[in-house]
Structures are given as C-alpha cells and as structure tokens.
Amino acid sequence: MKIVLIAEYRDGQMLSGYTELLGFAETMGAETVMFVAGSDAVLPAYDGKLYLADAAVCGEYNPDLHKQMILDVVAKEQPDMVAFCHSSYGWDLAPRVAFGMKAAQVSEVVEVKDGAMVAPACNSKLRRTVTCKTGQTVVTLQAGAFAPVEGGGTPEVEKIVVDGQGRVVFEGYEEAEAGGVDLSKAEVIVSAGRGIGKPENVEMISALAKALGGEYGASRPVVDSEWVEHNRQVGTTGQTVAPKLYLACGISGAIQHLAGMKKSEFVVAVNTDKDAPIGEVADVLIVADLLQFVPALTEKVQAL
C-alpha cells in the first residue's frame, strides 16, 4: 500500500500534524510520499520523497492550485490513499481532491480496524466502520487519534509548480476574537464530563478548580447540553490546553477531547468505569463516585 500524506505549513512553520500522518501510515504498514505547500527553508523531519510547492508563489492555501498539484502527485505516484489532517485545510481540500480522483472519502478517521476506517457518527456518540468500494480513498484523520511518529532524516525534495492563479487569493490569518476564559494559560484545569450527572453539579467542579488555584473546563457533551459556556470546552472543537495538572471528572476519553488535553503534564481521571479510555492516558485513575470524591477532595485542599 502507498499513501500520499498531505502535510501543512502555516505562517512560515511546518505544523506538527504531519507526524500523526506518519503514525497513521505506520499503522497501515504503508509506503509513503509527502506533499506540502511550504518553503525549502523549513522542511519536515522525513526521510522519504517530498513534493514541495513554493507557498510564496502558490499561497499557503489556494484550493484550486493545491488541489491540482495534489492530483498531479496522485497521477504520478498512483497511491492507494491520500491522507489529510482533519483540520480546516483538510476539511476544505479533501473533498475537492476526492472528487477529482473519483474516489471515496472518509472524514475524521479515529481508528483502523481490520483495514477498514473507523469514524464517529451521531455527534461522536457512535462509531461507524467504513469499507470503501473505490480503488483509491481520501481520508482525514482526527487530531490525536494516531500516535505521532518522527520520521527523522532529510527528505528527497522534488519541487512542483502549477500554472494559473486560482479563484482564491490568500491574504493572511486573522486571530480569533478573545472571549471568556483563556484555558490555554491555566496551570490547573478541572474538567467536567457527562459523568457529573446534571448541570447543578458544575458548581462542584468549579469549587475544586478554585480550591486548586485553577480554572474549570468541560467536554463537548457538557457544552452541547448548555451546562457550561463554549469558551470552557476542551477538545478539537474547543480549546487546546497544556496545564501542569489536568483533572478529568466523569470524562470517558473520546479522541476529540484527548486531542485537546494531551499536552498536559500530569493527568488525573475520576471515573466509575475502570476501563474508560481516559485511563489509558491518565497518570492516575481514581475509580470512585465523583459526587462523593470531588467534594471530599475540595474540602481537604481548602483545609491546607
């Protein structure tokens, strides 16, 4: 099997997502080549063949030009699969490339099972296993789903160009307007999951966070239920955090949530299910009723 990996370059830097693409390829046991619209001054740590387009000429994002260059690489390499990160770049470009290839597309892949792609469904409450009928497949990979692999070495670079200007002009990036709490700056975060039971119990999570000198956050289901405002959501559709201590209360450990807190220095999880996925990433897993444990912990911390 051969996979074309689509790396990303933004504002003069390679984005680290390409290491997760390499992890996916390793899971698939695949041969790889890579494409990026970037700069020869900043190359990925990758010892394979790299098709490099000059972002100064074609733009860091130009859907018409980038699509055509990737299709040119596909025509030359004849891969079985093209893999993107499940990012704004991948969301927009993957279906364009799949249409050009007349290939099936699977979005937000979180696992590979017996060679088939596993992706979330029903607002991530269920998972579906997808087997594609076309000879080639285009996929986007959920952040954090596949362990990153540092390729190492220096790529064999082949520069590519495409004629034309495209219909989109890239003008730059605009920072999102700041609002509410900035969890990315918190050294301690206590997060609430569906396991807290009801909205009234958010106050219990907030009290523990305050006692620890931190902030409280939440998983997407809690935010979707409107128990907590969106600016406290941790995960791929919320904030990405890296506190010294992350305390997950009643959080099962969906891939989307783990991707948002995987850089935490120390993770403590409180869950009644000893087999919850969060236990695989937690430094300490406390199997307990959080409605009893959290108030008791808060009381002990306040007494210090």
Q: Tens digit of pLDDT for each residue in 40-74?
A: 999 999 999 999 999 988 888 899 999 999 999 99
DSSP 172-205: ---PPPP-S--GGG-SEEEEE-GGG-SGGGHHHH
Q: Tell me 105's DSSP state.
A: E
Quick one: tokens of 80? 């079985």
The reported pLDDT for the residue numbered 166 is 78
DSSP 119-158: EEETTTTEEEEE---SSSEEEEE-TTSS------S--EEE
CA angle 127/129/130 to nearest 5° reads 130
Q: What domains are there in the chain, each with its CATH number?
A: 2-159 (3.40.50.620), 183-303 (3.40.50.1220)
Query: Is the separation of the CB atoms in 12 and 26 below 8 Å?
Result: no
User: pLDDT by residue (tens digit) across 229-282?
Assistant: 988 999 877 888 989 999 999 999 888 888 889 889 999 999 999 999 899 899
Kindly give, in sequence order, each residue whose CB lies less than 8 Å from that of residue 101, ignoring residues fewer than 6 positions away: 71, 74, 82, 136, 138
User: pLDDT by residue (tens digit) across 77-127?
Assistant: 999 999 999 999 999 999 999 999 999 999 999 889 988 999 988 866 678
